[in-house]
Amino acid sequence: MRADTPAPHTGAVSEWVLHVDLDQFIAAVEVARRPELRGRPVIVGGNGDPAERAVVATASYEAREFGVDSGMPLRLAVKRCPDAVFLPVDGPAYQEVSDHVMARLREFPVVVEVLGWDEAFLGVTADDPEALAEDVRRGIEEETGLSSSVGIGDNKLRAKLATGFAKPAGIYRLTQENWWDVMAERPTDALWGIGRKTAKKLAEAGYTTVLELAAADPDALAARFGPRLGPWYRLLAGGIGEREVSATPYVARSRGRETTFQQDLTDSAAIVAEIARLAERVAQDVAEEGRPAARVAVKVRFAPFFTHSHSVTLPEPSSDPAVLAAAAQDVLARFTLGKPVRLLGVRAEFPRA
């Protein structure tokens, strides 16, 4: 039996959340700049050199057919798709195109909440959301030449998930009416907010599908996964999510810098120097943000691929470069640096509002 299945809607629904996602955005921008690449596998990441230590920022659909996906090391990507065209990441170019897209979205009678370069939520009042979604897709293509997909939902969670069913270049509606038909038997990592690691832990606890998770005892989930996360997982499984779309500008929770080394660092003095350099750059970012930092965190990735992080709360929020640098070195001292280091990162976290 399905637990807590919401009662179906009665009557017309006029308030919707649309999730707009630009298809293979970064790769699409690069192909638009280089039309001769259309139809070829394109992989964007790092400096565009597949021999370097960097990860895939995005891959065209042609490259994805070879099993290449975002976050994959470039060295693995070139093994899977040796004939791909590898290109460097060009952040300013992507930001410029994104700005054009978001400006076009704001011309519609909607509330726009930007999520990143390539996606946004739209708050919509409409009797025919599919018609509006098609107008949005057409407007984006006319403005930039880019393809997009639109998910329609009665909250943000369902709209976001609907986009996955809409891709590529489509429209899909996921609401309380069809939630169980679409989602009940899917694995828990089909939910927005549950990744593979969490899904594995849920499976170990006996919850392998969305329906099983929705039917779980909230007290049992809280005991196993914590009083906040456990019940939240159950809400996700029921399709319960936030409805409000806010046009409030995005406010960063932290500013960070990290470096992946082409050759592992083994000398402790070099590691200390690199943390100092990263902390200096982060301090500049904090100054530009105009807000003091409350915590400083350090991330260390040891060879071959084991990542650990520690953080410290500052006695009081600060933008002082010396304070941030000292905190970073204090956090670094908590690590045992006996193994080669392939990545270092420093992050300053701002106080929560």
Q: What is the DSSP string of 303-346?
A: TTTEEEEEEEEEEEEE--HHHHHHHHHHHHTTS---S-EEEEEE
Q: What is the pLDDT of residues 197-223, one digit of tens each?
A: 999 999 999 999 999 999 999 999 999
Whether 209 and 184 have beta carbons less than 8 Å apart is answered as yes
**Res 289 pLDDT > 60:** yes
Q: Token match 């021999």: residue?
A: 51
**Res 14 pLDDT > 90:** no
pLDDT of residue 7: 33
119 has catalytic annotation = yes
Which domains occur in the chain, in start order?
A: 15-22+92-178 (3.30.70.270), 25-90 (3.40.1170.60), 180-237 (1.10.150.20), 254-349 (3.30.1490.100)
Pairwise CA distance, residues 207 & 210, whole Å: 8
Q: What is the pLDDT of residues 66-125, one digit of tens each?
A: 999 998 999 999 999 999 999 999 988 898 999 999 999 999 999 999 998 999 999 999
Over residues 46-67, mean pLDDT: 92
The percent of residues above 70 in pLDDT, for the chain, comes to: 95
**Cα angle: 22, vertex 149, 159; to 5 degrees:** 110
Which residue in the list 30, 119, 212, 349 is annotated as catalytic? 119
Confidence of residue 353 (pLDDT cuts 50, 70, 90): low
